[in-house]
């Protein structure tokens, strides 16, 4: 297996092994390269990714998603004018930060952003399989 780096793109020869195997088979005689690629893509669509939502890796991916969402919420929160509803002191800031932590966890679990699934697929080498 060889991996070449072209700019920011990584070319992994093993990902295209099924295409090269099909080209070498007799069943592809007379087919164009694009027809062979279409056949391989149809096979890949039928494969489903396997996401183990009970694994430690998936839990860490959910934590990453929660962290990203919290940063997004903090950036949005900084654009809102203060109303005086929450105290501006240390306790008020701590309460507001904890509140937004919980918002981020809730959004990560229920809003289906998909960051955790994408990170899990990338880390387990299943990227490219359609969800």
- The answer to whether residue 45 scores a pLDDT higher than 70 is no
In whole angstroms, what is the distance from residue 21 CA to residue 79 CA?
A: 55
pLDDT of residue 70: 92
Other Cβ atoms within 10 Å of 119 Cβ, number = 19
Query: What is the per-residue pLDDT for 125?
Result: 81
Domain boundaries, the chain: 3-46, 56-123
At 38, the pLDDT band (50, 70, 90 cuts) reads confident
1 has a pLDDT exceeding 60? no
Residue pair 18/40 in contact (Cβ under 8 Å)? The answer is: yes
Whole-number Å distance between alpha carbons of 61 and 68: 11
Is there a contact between 47 and 129 (Cβ–Cβ < 8 Å)?
Answer: yes
Averaged pLDDT for residues 9-26: 56
- Decide: 117 and 131 in contact? Cβ < 8 Å: yes
User: What are the structure tokens assigned to 118, written together?
Assistant: 């994408």
pLDDT at 108 over 60: yes
- What is the per-residue pLDDT for 12? 56
Question: Which tens digit of pLDDT belongs to each residue from 46-82?
Answer: 567 788 888 899 999 989 999 999 999 989 888 888 7
pTM, two decimals, is 0.56
Residue 11 phi, psi (nearest 5): -100, 115
Average pLDDT over residues 7-36: 60
Q: What is the mean pLDDT of residues 29-50?
A: 69
């Amino acid at each position: 297996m060889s991996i070449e780096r072209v700019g920011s793109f990584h070319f992994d020869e093993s990902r295209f092994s099924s295409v090269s195997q099909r080209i070498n088979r007799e069943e592809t005689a007379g087919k164009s390269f694009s027809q062979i690629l279409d056949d391989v893509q149809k096979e890949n669509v039928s494969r489903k990714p396997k996401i183990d939502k009970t694994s430690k890796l998936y839990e860490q991916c959910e934590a990453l998603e929660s962290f990203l969402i919290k940063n997004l919420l903090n950036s949005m929160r900084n654009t809102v004018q203060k109303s005086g509803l929450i105290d501006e002191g240390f306790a008020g800031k701590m309460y507001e930060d904890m509140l937004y932590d919980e918002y981020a966890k809730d959004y990560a679990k229920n809003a289906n952003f998909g960051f955790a699934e994408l990170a899990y697929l990338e880390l387990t080498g299943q990227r490219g399989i359609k969800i």
